């Protein structure tokens, strides 16, 4: 079995253009190290895949939850398409081993980094869309992500971790959690944030995400382990 066949077996779809499949796993660090040119990386596929993913998930939530308001659907969509969820999908599919990384990125554990793994999922969605259109991209999204969404949507702390953290904190202390960006990395169009949540001057936890909001939600989710649920929350 070729590597392409192995990957296609894992992701549940077959691409006619194997070059697209290979490009989906081409991390920018590998491209720079081997002087392959900017367009050889998976970033353009990731850009397209991100848009297709949002459309498919939005369509799913709109139809599946006909009585829910826009605000709740937006929260759920954010939870389903965030870095952590996509990275988990990539790990469960065993995709990390196929990523093309520079020597430096390999030595720093790039195969297990959430952002890199999440980008692979988005790039594969983009590749599937270009190769065979919307339906094939949707098939992959349903299999890799939406089939896991039901379990995610039943965990209340995933809906609005910042709101739940504030409620739990205020049940014990009359203070409000505050968030601060402590690190930014990556190019302007793809900036990754690391945020921390504080109670007064005490740092509770840190989190990462592509938009700042996602980093704050990740920090809140990590901080929730320090505060037990209130009643039946």
- Domain annotation for the chain: domains and CATH numbers: 3-158 (1.10.1520.10), 161-226 (3.30.160.20)
Residue 173 pLDDT class (50, 70, 90 cuts): confident
**The pLDDT value given to residue 228:** 65
Q: Tell me the CA distances in angstroms from 113 to 29, 91, 99, 193, 229, one per residue in order.
A: 13, 10, 11, 14, 30
**The pLDDT value given to residue 159:** 60
For residue 202, is pLDDT > 60? yes
Decide: pTM greater than 0.75. Answer: no
85-98 confidence digits (pLDDT tens): 999 999 999 999 99
For residue 29, is pLDDT > 70? yes
- What's the average model confidence in pLDDT over 191-206? 91
Residue 155 pLDDT class (50, 70, 90 cuts): low
**Which percentage of the chain shows pLDDT scores above 70?**
93
Give catalytic residue positions.
50, 122
Residue 37 pLDDT class (50, 70, 90 cuts): confident
Residue 127 pLDDT class (50, 70, 90 cuts): very high
DSSP 36-99: --GGGSSHHHHHHHHHHHHHHHHHHHHHH-TTS-HHHHHHHHHHHHSHHHHHHHHHHHT-GGG-
- Kindly tell me the burial class for residue 69, based on how many C-beta atoms sit within 10 Å of its own C-beta (0-12, 13-18, 19 or more): exposed
- What's the average model confidence in pLDDT over 102-112? 90
């Amino acid at each position: 079995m070729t590597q392409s066949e192995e990957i296609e077996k894992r992701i549940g779809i077959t691409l006619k253009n194997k070059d697209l499949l290979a490009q989906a796993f081409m991390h920018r660090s590998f491209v720079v190290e081997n002087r392959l040119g900017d367009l050889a990386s998976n970033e353009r596929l990731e850009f397209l895949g991100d848009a297709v993913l949002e459309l498919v998930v939005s369509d799913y939530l709109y139809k599946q939850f006909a009585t829910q308001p826009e605000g709740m659907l937006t929260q759920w969509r954010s939870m389903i398409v965030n870095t952590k969820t996509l990275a988990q999908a990539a790990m469960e599919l065993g995709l990390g081993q196929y990523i093309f990384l520079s020597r430096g990125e390999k030595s720093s554990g790039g195969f297990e980094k959430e952002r890199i793994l999440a980008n692979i999922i988005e790039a594969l969605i983009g590749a599937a869309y270009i190769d065979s259109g919307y339906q094939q991209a949707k098939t992959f999204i349903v299999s890799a992500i939406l089939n896991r969404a039901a379990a995610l949507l039943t965990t209340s702390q995933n809906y609005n971790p910042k709101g739940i953290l504030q409620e739990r904190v205020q049940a014990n202390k009359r203070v409000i959690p505050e968030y601060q960006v402590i690190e930014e990395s990556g190019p302007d169009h793809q900036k990754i944030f690391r945020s921390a949540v504080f109670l007064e001057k005490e740092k509770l936890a840190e989190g990462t995400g592509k938009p700042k909001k996602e980093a704050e939600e990740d920090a809140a989710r990590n901080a929730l382990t320090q505060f037990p649920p209130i009643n039946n929350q």
